[in-house]
A and B are shown apart, each in its own frame.
Chain A
Amino acid sequence: MANSKPPEAIPALVDRALQGDRRALSRLISRVENGGAEAWSALASIYPRTGRAQIVGVTGAPGTGKSTLVSEIAKYTRQHQPAITVGIVAVDPTSPFSGGAVLGDRIRMRDLAGDAGVFIRSMATRGSLGGLARATTDVVKVLDAAGFQLILIETVGAGQSEIDIARTADTVIVVEAPGLGDEVQAIKAGILEIADILVVNKADRDGVQSTVNALHTMIDLGKAPTSVLHHGQLTTLATPPQVATDRWRPPVLKTIAAESTGIAEVLEAVTQHRAYLSAHPEGQQRARVRAAIELETILRESLVQQLLDHIGPEALTRTIDQVAARAIDPYSAAKQLLA
């Protein structure tokens, strides 16, 4: 029974997925997620139809309420702008021991069930670090090509190293909660640098204002030239003031996602950030950096694959054995294999 049918050819699957067949879309996502040459051929064929969706990433420490916030953003959008369809990619970690995963983000998204304008897909990281699965960007492209106008990506809740999301999303929302990470956490975490919008969720809890204040302080520290300007020391600034002041300053917003409070303000900030990116050179720069990283990733993967094909599994195994037995050092071994 299971797995008895041969998999459908990619071009036919792509056609049906792009025509709105949700079953085909779901299957195409799996094929793209599983990777390999057919994934690339599928992605190449849908590529002209991508680049239209607004892509919003939601990241933050575990327990801050990312899933609930994502669900509320989708719900609010569907209620107030029913013409906008929403795709959600929710990433959870793969167990490094078993290779398996429990993907539980849908539990908090049950309000979206039954809405044909929403498509939710859970992804396991499958060994990838950095908060997203290797194929998350590719799956987002599939949803984009299939016509979803707003795509929300929820990262795993690692909280301090989720740089991947900044390379995938147009706008990154970093979610914090009172009493979880204090000022020290905020300093430590590189996560603040990737934030376009900061959300302090669970704002009905004690300590909201101190979390909000801490975040504002951190943002201002990160933009030293502007604060110097505010203190009247204009002469010490080498950069022209307008360059410093027209840069995006991440707003710090308060939400109680579980009670649907503050969601409109988050979406308003997303809209403003989108307008900023399209008007400001930073938008172009970001697009270019993203293109560079994407191309480099594909080049690296193809090179490694070509190389492994060229070397062959026997020679590779033999060399690994030699290195493991310390008969040769790994640097010379690599050099020999490349020769």
Chain B
Amino acid sequence: MDKKIRILIAKPGLDGHDRGAKVIARALRDAGMEVIYTGLRQTPEMIAEAALQEDVDAVGLSILSGAHLTLLPRVVSCLQERGLEEVLIFAGGIIPDEDVTSLKDAGVTAVFGPGTNTDHVVEFIRGQFQTA
């Protein structure tokens, strides 16, 4: 009846910069989505548990600490452990191009670098959840 796209925006790891996460949260809200924002310094377990409780369609991970190759695959496996295989995972932040392939192999569907137009992110997510 009133199905909304629900998205968790989370910051794994220890960096304290959440401006990007907030900008994305705001853009997704303005696109009519329900965004659950969990704040700074989340462990992969906390992120996966929040995704489970909130029944989100997608998880967006913002990371600027450089620990993405360690943390993001762990988020993916924590989600899988909880039966959330179908949840879309995307990432943003300071992620070098050469790491993108291994993140995608690990189950991150898309990676958005600095300067990405928020409309682009919105379109990407809408495209993933297009209903006929």
Give Cα A29–Cα B45 distance, bound, in whole angstroms: 21
Give Cα A110–Cα B4 distance, bound, in whole angstroms: 25
Give Cα A23–Cα B81 distance, bound, in whole angstroms: 11
Q: Using A34-B2, A106-B39, A107-B37 as known contacts, say yes or no to A101 and B54 having CB atoms under 8 A apart.
A: no
Give Cα A102–Cα B32 distance, bound, in whole angstroms: 10
> Does A100 sit at the interface, judged by CB under 8 A?
yes
> Does A12 sit at the interface, judged by CB under 8 A?
no
> Does B52 sit at the interface, judged by CB under 8 A?
yes
Residues of chain B contacted by A104 (CB below 8 angstroms):
36-37, 39
Taking a contact as CB atoms under 8 Å apart, the answer to whether A95 and B2 are in contact is: no
Taking a contact as CB atoms under 8 Å apart, the answer to whether A23 and B36 are in contact is: no
Taking a contact as CB atoms under 8 Å apart, the answer to whether A34 and B34 are in contact is: no
Closest to B9 in A: A102
Taking a contact as CB atoms under 8 Å apart, the answer to whether B26 and A1 are in contact is: no
Q: Which of B33, B42, B86 lies in contact with A1, CB distance below 8 A? A: B86
Closest to A103 in B: B36
Residues of chain A contacted by B49 (CB below 8 angstroms):
113-114
Residues of chain B contacted by A100 (CB below 8 angstroms):
4, 28-35
> Does A5 sit at the interface, judged by CB under 8 A?
yes
Mark contacts of B46-81 with chain A using CB atoms, 8 A cut-off: 1 yes-contact digit, 0 otherwise: 100110111101100000000000000000000000
Give Cα A94–Cα B50 distance, bound, in whole angstroms: 20
Residues of chain A contacted by B129 (CB below 8 angstroms):
2-3
Q: How far is the CB of A298 from chain B (nearest CB, A)?
A: 15
The interface size bin for chain A is 35 or more
Taking a contact as CB atoms under 8 Å apart, the answer to whether A102 and B86 are in contact is: no
Q: Using A34-B2, A35-B1, A110-B46 as known contacts, say yes or no to A121 and B86 having CB atoms under 8 A apart.
A: no
Q: Which of A22, A34, A103, A119 lies in contact with B35, CB distance below 8 A? A: A103
**Interface secondary structure of A, over-half rule:** mixed
Q: Using A2-B129, A34-B2, A126-B2 as known contacts, say yes or no to A22 and B53 having CB atoms under 8 A apart.
A: yes
Q: How far is the CB of B45 from chain A (nearest CB, A)?
A: 7
Give Cα A103–Cα B53 distance, bound, in whole angstroms: 13
> Does A98 sit at the interface, judged by CB under 8 A?
yes
Taking a contact as CB atoms under 8 Å apart, the answer to whether A121 and B54 are in contact is: yes
Taking a contact as CB atoms under 8 Å apart, the answer to whether A26 and B2 are in contact is: no
Give Cα A110–Cα B42 distance, bound, in whole angstroms: 9
> Does A207 sit at the interface, judged by CB under 8 A?
no
Taking a contact as CB atoms under 8 Å apart, the answer to whether A23 and B52 are in contact is: yes
Q: How far is the CB of A110 from chain B (nearest CB, A)?
A: 7
> Does B103 sit at the interface, judged by CB under 8 A?
no
Q: How far is the CB of A258 from chain B (nearest CB, A)?
A: 15
Residues of chain B contacted by A102 (CB below 8 angstroms):
25-26, 29, 35, 37
Mark contacts of A51-84 with chain B using CB atoms, 8 A cut-off: 1 yes-contact digit, 0 otherwise: 0000000000000000000000000000000000
> Does A50 sit at the interface, judged by CB under 8 A?
no
Q: List 28 A-B contacts (CB under 8 A).
A: A1-B109, A2-B57, A2-B128, A5-B86, A22-B52, A30-B55, A33-B2, A34-B2, A35-B2, A36-B1, A98-B30, A98-B31, A99-B4, A99-B32, A100-B28, A100-B29, A100-B33, A101-B29, A102-B26, A102-B29, A103-B37, A104-B36, A106-B36, A107-B37, A110-B39, A113-B46, A113-B49, A120-B50
3 residue pairs, one from A and one from B, having the closest CB atoms: A107-B39, A100-B29, A36-B1
10 A-B pairs besides A5-B86, A26-B54, A114-B46 with CB distance below 8 A are A2-B86, A4-B86, A23-B84, A26-B53, A34-B1, A98-B29, A107-B39, A110-B39, A121-B54, A122-B54
Q: Interface residues, chain B, CB within 8 Å of chain A?
A: 1-4, 6, 25-26, 28-39, 42-43, 45-46, 49-50, 52-55, 57-58, 82-84, 86, 88, 109, 128-129, 131
